[in-house]
Structures are given as C-alpha cells and as structure tokens.
Structure 1
Amino acid sequence: MSDDTSLQIPFPHRRNSHGPHATVLHRDWLTRHPLLADPGHPSYAHWEVVELAALGYPDAGPDELALAADLMGFYFLFDDQFDGPLGRRPAEVAPICERLIAVLHGAHPDTGSPAETAFADLWERSVRGMPARWQSRAAYNWEWYLASHPAEAAGRISKRPPDREGYLVLRRGTAAMETIFDMVERLGRFEVPAAVLHHPVLRQLRQLAADIPSLSNDVRSFPLEAPRGDVNNLVMIVQRERHCSAEEACAVVTAEAQLMVERCQHLYTQLPDVYRELGLARVERIIAQRYADGLLTWLAGYLSWESRTGRYQTA
C-alpha cells in the first residue's frame, strides 16, 4: 500500500544485534523441519523473517532470538499452506490442527509431517524452564490460534460474510498475537504477576497492541487476499458497511488503527498508578514494566518490518 496508509507510532523500535547468528540457526532449523522445499529460496529471504524477530524482541539473547525467528517462520509457513485449495476444505484443515493441539498436551508427532515436527520442537523449546502457570496460558493461546484455522477455512466457502464482531473473534485467533506476547515473558525469562497481568489497564493495552497489527496487516494484505476469496479482512467489511471503494475503506481502517495507537499511549501512562494501587513490590513493578514495554516494542518493531517486507507485495 502507499505511504499514506502507514501509522504514526510514538514508540521507538530497536533491532537485536544477534541477527546474523539467528539467521544461520534459522536456516538450519528449516533444513531439519522442511516447511520449505528450499530454505534459501529468494522469496522467503525477501520476507526478512529474522529481521521481524530482531525488531520484535530486541533484547533476546542469541539462541532466544533464533527461537523467535523459528516461531515467526512457522506462523507464516503454517498459515500459507491454507492459502490454496486446502484452505477451502475445513474438514481437512481441522485434523491437521488437532494433531498440533495434541502436541500441547503431551502427544508425540505421529505422521512425521514437517509441520508437526517443527511445532513439537518449538513447543518443547518454548516451555523449557517456564513455570506451570505460564505453560498453561501458553498452551491455551496456542490452541486458540490453531483451532481458528478450520473456522477461517469455513468462512471462505460460507455465504455469510463476517460482520465486525465475528471478524474480531476469528482474527484475534488467527493472528496468534497472544502467543507472540507470551514470548515476551519467555524470552525475557520472567513471569508477570497475575494481579497486574489481568488488570483492566494492562489487558486493554495488550488487546490494542494485538489488534493494531491485524488492522494494519489487513490493509497491506488486502490486494493479495481479495482475489483468492479471503473474507476475514476488515477492509472488506468496511467496504460493505459504507458502500465505498477499497481505497476509502483502507483509509478508514488505518484511521481506526491510529486511534488505537493513541489509546495505547494513554493507557501506558496509567501503568505507574496501577502498580501503586495494586501495592506491587519493586521487583514486581520492574517485571510488569518490562512486559508492557515488550508489548509496545513488538508493536513498533512489527509495523516497521511490515512497511518494508516483501511478504505483502503483490508483484
């Protein structure tokens, strides 16, 4: 899309310095789990997957950044298998996702498919050393992401295009943002106290930080999604609501996302009051702030990456 659809982000983005190390390890991982026929394919390289991980998690150590890069690659390549005819056959999509969900609960991959072995490896590395409460939350969020794909496939063949509320329910699943935000804790090796993690201010901040990339992505991916029949895109919904052109709908969605960015900024300034009102100890405040900073760092890093990546180019 043109530059006039870009968001103005008041939060700075930073780049992890371990990108070259993670690039080597990520290519090795793709060789062991061949989600791609050719891990060095120029098209995949043009997506700059390691760059996304480096911008999203700038403080991660070398091996942690490699884990983040592997996760980013998995999200993209797993999702992309449903862009073709398979993505219009929900009864076939569901068993694929169920086998991965079973991995979350202790099952071993039984088909040897690259998706299963890759996901089993990612899950084992992610939960290693993390507390049980974090593991339970992470498993739920992964199940939500995986189980959303059959519904997305059904939507492509349904004669009932989604309304705004239905869009949000499904998009919040397929976007996988909760799993991405769980990794803020995992890569930082901390766990946010429950009282502040579920406080309304931080929950709103997290939800906005999760939704903004979806709206921005809908604008950038619209030229790719519309021709193949994808319907869970807010640009299409706004077009129907307003009976307007695609260009006008993109501008409306971008304006909505910009208001959400401003709301994020306002909520962020409230966090010190939240910590004080909850009576958090100093170490708890530090952890909570690291998490909040991590959410907005991811948001800023993602939007910077999205504006340059070749993944959403139509050519």
Structure 2
Amino acid sequence: MDTSTGEITIPGQVRVNPLRDAAAAHNLDWLRAHGMLRDDEAEQHYNRWNIPQLAAVSFPDAGLADLCLAVDQCAFYFLFDDQFDADLGALPAEVARVCAPLISTLHTGRAPEKPSPVESAFADLWRRESQGMSPRWRSRAAYHWEGYFSAHPSEALGRRTLHADHFPSRAAYMVLRRGASGVDTVLDMVERILGEIPPTIFHNPTVTLMRQLAGDAPAVNNDVYSYPKEAPRGDVYNLAVILQHERQCGLDEAFALVHGDATRMVEEFYRLNALVPELCVELGLTPSETEATLRYREGLADWMRGYFTWEASTIRYRPEGALPLDQPNYLEELL
C-alpha cells in the first residue's frame, strides 16, 4: 500500500515506532533539563506540534535510546529555528555570533562555560549522536552541522535585503535550503541508527543523488506548508516566494509548481532506489555491507515518507498553530 499526503503519493506504508510514547516522555524531561522548555504555556505550544510522532514515523525501527535521540534532535531544530522569527532574524552578524559557539562545540565537544539553553542542549545532542561512530562519520556529521548553523546568518541576510527587491536565484535557494533545513544532519542519523555503509557505495553517484532527493523533496514541499508562517515575516528563502517573483504568478500556481517539483523528486528517488541491489553486486560489497546498504536505502525512504505524513498533519504550519505576527514566533528566549 502506498502513502498519500494529499498532493504527493509515496510508495510503501508509513510505520510508527512502538516506542514513541516512551521517547516522548524522555523528550519533555530532556527539554526541561536543558532549559529549552521552562513554563507551561511554552510546553503546551510545543506539544501541539507532535514532534515525537515525526521521529517515530521517520525512524520506525529505532531502539529506545536512538529514538530518544531522534526526537530530541527534531525538537532542537524547530525550537532553535523559531528563535530567528523575530528582529534578530534580520541581523546577520548577530545571528553569526549566536551560531559561533555551537559550531565550536562540534570541534571541542563541550558547551561554553555558561551555556544558553540551546548551547547546553546541542552539546548533549552532539555527544550522544557521535558516540561510537567512526571518525569518517563524525567528520561528515560535523561538516553538516556546521553547514546548518552557518546557513542561518545567510537566511538573515535574505530577510534584510527583501525590501531592496533582492530575491535569491533558485540555485542559491537550493544550496541554502539544504543547509538551513538541517536535512543532511537528519540523513546522517539514518546511518547512526541503522548502521554505517561503505564509502564506495555512500559516495556512488546513484546513492548520492538518492540522498540529495530524499533531503530536497521534503524541504521543498515544506515551503508550501510553512509559507503562511514564513512569508509574512520576510523570509525569501522559500521556493513559493521565489517562484511568485520569477514567474510573476499567483500563490496557487506557485504552490502547484512546488508540489510538482517535490513529486518529480520522489519519483526519481524511487527510480534510483531500484538500482541499488545491482550496484552492491557491481561494487563487490560483502553480504553484510549489502545488507547495511539496503537498510540505508529503506531508511532514506522511511524518512521521506514519515516527514511528508507528519507535515500534512501537524498544527505547526496551520494558522491556529501560529503566534501573532506582531510578536516573536516563540514564547521563551533560548539563545
């Protein structure tokens, strides 16, 4: 049975990790412990997003410790990202200053001496995520996290130049979107949870393109769901915003074009997916390496299928889930 989210159909059925509720309970404790949730109103607002469900449908085979890590990481993305939906989000140099200690943690393994909530939470995430992984994986994951944090000042620059009628090109958008969405760090978690795959297959062009598509399709499609939240706050790194400017078209047409792009990405992913078993043979992978690679390709599909499903159901991107535009898009200062 295929999974349909209304606009996009994805082969296979969504599976939900049975450890979801236990991971959800851990997640609230973890967020409170690091100061990421401090009062009841903020906790209620966060709970409405149903972040544990996102992790549970994206990583249905994860054990409890790994699922807890996945939920915590998902929570970090959203709570951190929302901190820039205010005046700070249009101050590139200040955003860079905020992100610098987080980048340093990747290389020191430590939070600053007096950490903010996000600095404390991220240091714990990075410690747990990198524990037991190969130097090759840790180097790559650190590079992806560095790209994620470094994309935020450039997003802020885009907000600042909006009023000068400066819109990014589609190519520039795709580069920044991959960084700012954090999707490469999510896909690193596929190996973290399901096992590392050999470099020869990881860097093979077919698998590299599959990974890119598995990241780009949800990120691009998210621009439709997040448009009501982002466009009024001046975000230009949204494909629907860019297409309206480039095509001089209405919002409905822009949304249809975005959905069309995401659909083509999903279709291409599954075309390439079918080539992987033969690639394993041609590259001389051992039976255990082949098994790990087949798990990996299914993990990429689980992520894509899970995200599309969660995105269509969460209140985070609905008008009733948004905070008023005349105030920051968060309830607590975490930086």
| Equivalent residue letter for 2:59 | Y
1:225 offset after TM fit, Å?
A: 1.1
Map of 2:26 onto structure 1: 25
Give the superposed CA RMSD. Answer: 1.4
CA contact (8 A) 1:7 1:258 kept: yes
Alignment counterpart, residue 82 of structure 1, candidates 84, 97, 103: 84
CA contact (8 A) 1:56 1:302 kept: yes
| 1:150 is aligned to 2:153 | yes
Alignment counterpart, residue 302 of structure 2, candidates 294, 297, 304: 297
1:111 offset after TM fit, Å?
A: 3.1
1:4 offset after TM fit, Å?
A: 8.9
| 1:282 is aligned to 2:287 | yes
Q: Could you list the runs of 5+ residues in structure 2 that have no partner in the other structure?
A: 321-335
1:254 offset after TM fit, Å?
A: 0.3
**Could you say what secondary structure the match of 1:213 adopts?**
helix
Segments of 4+ moved more than 3 angstroms: none
1:5 offset after TM fit, Å?
A: 6.1
| Equivalent residue letter for 1:179 | T
Cα distance in 1 between the residues matched to 2:303 and 2:12: 10
CA contact (8 A) 1:162 1:232 kept: yes
Cα distance in 1 between the residues matched to 2:203 and 2:14: 26
Map of 1:235 onto structure 2: 240
**Could you say what secondary structure the match of 1:41 adopts?**
helix
| 1:201 is aligned to 2:206 | yes
Alignment counterpart, residue 263 of structure 2, candidates 258, 261, 264: 258
Map of 2:135 onto structure 1: 132
Cα distance in 2 between the residues matched to 1:193 and 1:11: 26
1:42 offset after TM fit, Å?
A: 2.2
1:12 offset after TM fit, Å?
A: 2.4
Map of 1:212 onto structure 2: 217
| Equivalent residue letter for 1:18 | L
Q: Deviations over 1:145-171 (max 9, x none)?
A: 011100110110113210101101110
CA contact (8 A) 2:24 2:52 kept: yes
Map of 1:48 onto structure 2: 50
1:11 offset after TM fit, Å?
A: 3.1
Q: Deviations over 1:238-286 (max 9, x none)?
A: 1122211101100111011111111111000111121111111111110
1:95 offset after TM fit, Å?
A: 1.3
Q: Deviations over 1:108-140 (max 9, x none)?
A: 323320010000000000111111111111101
TM-score using structure 2 length: 0.90
Q: Label 1:151 to 1:129 Cα distance change in 2 as closer, same or farther (>3 A).
A: same
Map of 2:250 onto structure 1: 245
| Percent sequence identity over aligned pairs | 46
CA contact (8 A) 1:109 1:120 kept: no
Cα distance in 2 between the residues matched to 1:108 and 1:67: 18
| Equivalent residue letter for 2:32 | T
Cα distance in 1 between the residues matched to 2:178 and 2:242: 16
TM-score using structure 1 length: 0.96
| Equivalent residue letter for 1:42 | Q
| Equivalent residue letter for 2:56 | A
Q: Label 1:5 to 1:232 Cα distance change in 2 as closer, same or farther (>3 A).
A: farther
Map of 2:330 onto structure 1: none
Map of 2:15 onto structure 1: 14
Cα distance in 2 between the residues matched to 1:134 and 1:239: 39
Cα distance in 2 between the residues matched to 1:223 and 1:235: 11
Q: Deviations over 1:174-229 (max 9, x none)?
A: 011110011111122x2110000000000010000000011110011111111111
| Equivalent residue letter for 1:191 | E
Deviates more, 1:31-40 or 1:153-162: 31-40
| 1:57 is aligned to 2:62 | no
**Could you say what secondary structure the match of 1:311 adopts?**
helix
Map of 1:174 onto structure 2: 180
Cα distance in 2 between the residues matched to 1:114 and 1:152: 22
| Equivalent residue letter for 1:297 | D
**Could you say what secondary structure the match of 2:274 adopts?**
helix
Cα distance in 1 between the residues matched to 2:236 and 2:299: 31
**Could you say what secondary structure the match of 1:98 adopts?**
helix
